[in-house]
Structure 1
Amino acid sequence: MGAHSRTRIVVIGGGIAGLHSAALLARDGHDVTLLEQRDEVGGRMGTWRSEGFTFDMGPSWLLMGSVFEHAFRMLGTTMERELDVVRLDPAYRVWHAGGEPVELRSDRAHSEAVFEGIEPGAGAALGSYLDSAEHVASLAVDGLLYNRFESPASLRGTGVVREAGTLARLLLEPLSRRIDRTVTDERLRQILGYPAVFLGTNPYAAPSMYHLMSHFDLVDGVGYPVGGFGTIVEAFARLAAAHGVAIETGARVSTIRVVDGRAVGVEVDRGAGTESLDADVVVAASDLHAVETRLLPERFHARGERRWAKATPGPSAVLVLLGVEGRVPELAHHSLMFTGDWREGFRALDGTVPWPGGDANIYVCAPSRTDATVAPEGHENLFVLVPLPADASIGHGGIDGAGDAAVERIADDAIAQIAQWTGATDLADRIRVRRTIGPADFADWFDAWRGTALGPAHTLRQSAFLRGTTAYRGVDGLLTAGQSTVPGIGMPMCLISAELVLKHVRGDRSVGPLPEPPVDAVAPVDEVGA
């Protein structure tokens, strides 16, 4: 396969990784069909509307904005053309049990001043920490994230080789240990440690390499797309279609056909029986566990089950979508609430101790603090995330309290915690719209392994080149994209995984971002059907 060879490509999964993979491949001249089993594209980046509220049902932090900009430029456009992204100020507010909240901005000087005000000497210590975080982030982008990892030679010519000793130490040392050397105040340790949850793990299990995340939230900036994160899905779906991708929803793939060790197409059920669709390349932008244990022919299943038996899942969650009459001014756009013994909370997430109930380490997003379009005037839109063990048996969510008992009880506890910690004691009485989503919903909707909300955790064994490769080993012509594979969890990583797919189809073994093509001229209005 080369850049000028036209191939028939089937992409399984219409999340952001599948949409971007399909768009990139179609722009390169290939015949691309995208199959999504649900009735709408977006995957975990779903949108739900009710009574004038627009709720994001998945990601709600826009970090690493340069990755989004690059992704759009690879499709001949810009992020400014496609989205209205605002920089949040404050970036987020952190609540600690029994204490006053701490407000952070994506501003290095401000962050250092906040740390210094809480712990003398912590400002300078944070400065050194952020210097390292920026340096490691640069190494990661240049040598690790956009790397197909098909052989050890893939690291040659990168800063990764020159600083192999440093990176080895960062991979072997847990993030918590590096944080503990930097600051002593527990509140500051929590601020530096919470980004590990974005990676499906915790600061006690994540390699300290991931302190790079603090560069993105404390310096680089936290963004928000006006209209909600569904606008990102709409943008990539629009661009995919404009470049010629045939997008089919309600099309569930039941089998990836493999002949003589090569993927040759899929069996797909569009609601009227199963049909065969031939392909030269199949891109699985879906849950990799489902690919290995259900979609591939049965002879592959035992190997897949053995591999996943050794894997570590990221957490699941109960999501609570609340339409609230009146405001909750104590909340910022992003608010994090941490209990006093948050390590015990992480132990509950991995099943080491039973789930305690009551107050928990939770996240609350109030996009209506920034965006008037997501709630009726004078109302608040709240998205609450309670991390949980990856266990689909916890149950399904529902509308107006109709979810399974365990899920609704967790939601009730979270609402009570928000009310108590913020002083909004009448919060429960002002709820006009309520919907919960549980681990079993992730399993049913997205074939999510063990009901995880994120994918395999970024532990040492599941990071960088140890996480896997874009080309599925053992089946030629089968490529993988999305949170289950390299480079990992999160919207930016999913966009990068799509570019790795493009590199493979082109036969490109470079290790950094691909050169960006010129931005396309804006089409006249009558040419785009407006």
Structure 2
Amino acid sequence: MFFMKKVIVIGAGFAGLSAATKLADEGCDVTIIEKNSMAGGRARVFNEKGFVFDMGPSWYWMPDIFERYFAEFGKKPSDYYNLVRLDPSYKVIFNKEEEISLPANMQKLEELFESIEVGSAARLRDFLEKSKYKYDVGIGEFVWKPSISITEFFDIRLASKAISLDLFASFGKHIRKFFKNERLLQLMEFPILFLGATPQNTPALYSLMNYAEIALGTWYPMGGMHEIIKGMVALAKEKGVKFKLSEPVTKIVVEGKLAKTVVTEKGTYEADVVIGGADYHHIENNLLTDKTRNYDEKHWDKQVMAPSSLLFYLGVNRKIDKLTHHNLFFDEDFNVHADEIYTNPKWPSKPLFYASAPSKTDNSVAPEGSENLFILIPIAPDLEDNEAIREKYYHIVMDRLEAYVGHDIRNHVVYKRSFAVDDFKNDYNSYKGNAYGLANTLMQTAFLKPSLKNKKVNNLYYTGQLTVPGPGVPPSLISGLVVAKQVMKENN
């Protein structure tokens, strides 16, 4: 334990909160500086006309990671919020006549698979057994490494495991060893969309995501995803973390090889350690000088980014038929949309989209008789973004949504707000307006990701979705703990 090191954490998202709380628990004097008016990063919340809108993450997967996080401090998630398991986990809509709801019960899921493709129930068990191994090793061991050097992975025990993790096989080829039916393939490839690359360019290692969503379940914290942030903030304050909100950082002052002060629009803060939990590229390009950056602009421009998103937050003054909590509209060609995100970036011609109706589970997020609707269209990062484009896609999506549910929605929308590329840039200083960080391609895995440590400034570290272990809420929690432990190791 090292006592009263002054630590400044830039950014109050999941990773920043995680790192700050761990270091405060170890006796550090920790201050989080956040540009926005509330903690949470992309997981902020807002209230309008009786509706409570989560602004970003809406899926609660890998409950064991949340349990492990709170257990670091002798706590449990249930100390801060009430989790419920969703059943069905989600629904996939292929067209007006064809849809599949994924049951939470494993036996029912096997029966569903078998009804679609004879013999697939046994193959699902085999697939999940292999995926569980990847989860246990990948999430249990690999992602907790700081990945500063390749030598961390030279442990013979881990090296032998790495072979069976299928790091060098593509997820697309891997999944086709088990299933042939196109609908089952779409179901199994769906979680990969959250990793920011096509199944063909994603390592088969990430079949661990299938284990996470099928075996560990899809959950929801009553009150919304921001309840997790509220719990984390309460815990951070309990440990002594101080918060400076609505205070954008303008500069990190480096003297020699040490970051000495963090300058904001409102003041200057001395630091023994600085952790950048804001956008990595923004910190490097806007808060540091050329001589103290890890990576130049050419390096960043070569990185494969995960998608951005066009989001709509809708308050609807009627109930919407047929929708469950999570609904995936795969009623257009996935390959065409993927090409327009990753290969030939443009606004999609016929977008797939996701619709979340948390009010199907939680009465507290919408007035009685109303529906809280969150719509997400994945798009390429750094596209032109204006109100006319957003409105065009609003009607494209609503035409299909209304055709599916069989009744009018638009005339019942009493609140509407959009959020897209320019908002990601403005609110989060997000590189190219990305929503999910770096794509999880093989060449952007582990020590091939941007380093969590500045190589020229000895006491400057990074955490969050642009460094290890990668995008998503559970990886961000892990990222904060990993960087905190590295700080303790190097500054004890």
Which of the five TM-score ranges fits, normalised by the shorter chain? Answer: over 0.9
For residues 478-510 of structure 1, the C-alpha deviation after alignment (integer angstroms, 9 at most, x for no partner) is 11111111001111001001111221122189x
Is residue 269 of structure 2 the alignment partner of residue 269 of structure 1?
no
What is the alpha-carbon distance in structure 1 between the residues aligned to residue 104 and residue 254 of structure 2? 49
TM-aligned CA deviation for residue 227 of structure 1: 0.5
Do 1:470 and 1:500's aligned partners in 2 also have CA atoms closer than 8 Å? Answer: no
Correspondence 1:224 to 2:220: yes
Q: Distance in 1 between matches of 2:97 and 2:169?
A: 31
Shift of 1:447: 0.4
For 1:34 and 1:353, the matched residues in 2 are separated by 36
**Separation in structure 2 between the aligned mates of residue 492 and residue 165 of structure 1, nearest angstrom:** 24
The corresponding residue for 1:522 is: none
Secondary structure of the residue aligned to 1:469 is coil
Cα shift at 1:439? 0.9
Q: Residue type matched to 2:375 in 1?
A: V
**Residue 297 (1) aligns with residue 289 (2):** yes
Verify: 1:184 aligned to 2:180, yes or no. yes
Match of 2:428 in 1: 446
Change in CA separation of 1:353 and 1:470 when aligned onto 2, cut-off 3 Å: closer
Q: Distance in 2 between matches of 1:143 and 1:465?
A: 14
1:56-135 correspondence runs (5 A)? 56-135=54-133
SS of corresponding position for 2:12:
coil
Indicate the SS of the match to 1:257: strand
Counterpart of 1:412 (choices 384, 395, 412) is: 395
Counterparts of 1:361 and 1:177, CA distance in 2? 22
2:257 corresponds to 1:248: no
Given residue 487 of structure 2, which amino acid in structure 1 is its aligned partner? V
C-alpha RMSD of the superposition = 1.8
Is the 8 Å Cα contact of residues 6 and 271 (structure 2) preserved in structure 1? yes
> Of residues 419, 443, 459 in structure 2, which corresponds to 1:477?
459
With 172-181 and 158-167 compared, the bigger mean Cα shift is at 158-167
Displacement, 1:98?
Answer: 4.8
Q: CA deviation at 1:340?
A: 4.2
For residue 244 of structure 1, what is the amino acid of its counterpart? G
Q: Describe the superposition over 1:27-69 as per-residue Cα deviations: whole angstroms up to 9, x where unpaired.
A: 1110111100111111100112111110111000100001101
Identify the residue that residue 162 of structure 1 maps to in structure 2: 160
**Structure 1 residue 259: Cα displacement:** 1.6
Shift in Å, 1:106: 3.1
With the length of structure 2 as denominator, give the TM-score of the two structures.
Answer: 0.96
Q: Structure 1's 90 and 159: CA in aligned 2 closer, same or farther, altered over 3 A?
A: farther
What's the CA shift for 1:363? 0.8
Contact map agreement 2:294 2:455 (CA 8 A) in 1? no
- Give the superposition deviation at 1:469: 3.3
SS at match of 2:278: coil
Tell me, which stretches of 5 or more residues in structure 2 are unaligned? none
1:233-284, CA deviations, whole angstroms, 9 ceiling, x for partnerless residues?
A: 11111111121111000111111122212222211112xxxx3311010000
Alignment partners' CA distance in 1, 2:169 and 2:163: 12
SS in 2 for 1:434: strand
Instruction: Calculate the TM-score normalised by the size of structure 1.
Output: 0.89
| Equivalent pair of 2:357/2:371 in contact (CA under 8 Å) | yes
Alignment counterpart, residue 500 of structure 1, candidates 479, 482, 486? 482
Change (3 A) 1:213 1:508: farther
Q: Match for 2:258: what amino acid? A: R
CA distance in 2: counterparts of 1:4 and 1:282, whole angstroms = 16
The SS at the match of 1:181 is: coil
Cα deviation, 1:445-479, whole Å, max 9, x if unaligned, reads 00001001111111111112221432222221111
2-side partners of 1:74 and 1:156: how far apart? 27
* Conservation of the 8 A alpha-carbon contact between 1:419 and 1:426: yes
Counterpart position of 2:51: 53
Query: Which of the numbers 299, 310, 326 marks the counterpart of 2:302?
Result: 310
Task: Report the residue type matching 1:113 in the other structure.
Answer: E
Aligned residue in 2 for 1:371 = 362
Native 8 Å contact 1:364 1:382 kept in 2 = yes
CA offset digits 1:400-432 (Å, max 9, x no partner): xxxx11112112211221111232x31112211
- Does the 8 Å CA contact 1:200/1:313 hold for their aligned counterparts? yes
Does the CA contact (< 8 Å) of 2:346 and 2:380 recur in 1?
A: no
2:425 and 2:435 map into 1 onto residues whose CA distance is: 9
Query: By how many angstroms is 1:18 displaced?
Result: 0.9
2:317 corresponds to which of 322, 325, 350: 325
Work out whether 1:237 is the aligned partner of 2:220.
no
Matched letter for residue 402 of structure 2: A
Cα 1:406–1:93 shift into 2, 3 Å: same
Q: 1:153 to 1:351 in 2, by over 3 A?
A: closer
**What is the SS of the residue equivalent to 2:140?**
helix
* Alpha carbons 2:93, 2:99 under 8 Å: kept: yes
Match of 1:30 in 2: 28
Corresponding residue to 1:207 among 203, 206, 219: 203
Structure 2 residue 416 is the aligned partner of structure 1 residue 461: no
- Secondary structure of the structure 1 residue equivalent to 2:306: coil
One-letter identity of the residue aligned with 1:231: E
Partner letter of residue 376 of structure 1?
P
Partner amino acid, structure 2, of 1:322:
L
Aligned to 1:281: 273
Is the counterpart of residue 435 in structure 1 residue 417 in structure 2?
Answer: yes
Unaligned stretches of 5+ in structure 1? 396-403, 510-530
Mean Cα displacement is larger for which, 279-288 or 142-151? Answer: 142-151
CA distance in 2, matches of 1:52, 1:105: 31
Structure 1 counterpart of 2:321, one-letter code: P
Q: Evaluate the alpha carbon distance shift between residue 86 and residue 37 of structure 1 in structure 2; reply closer, same or farther with a 3 A threshold.
A: same
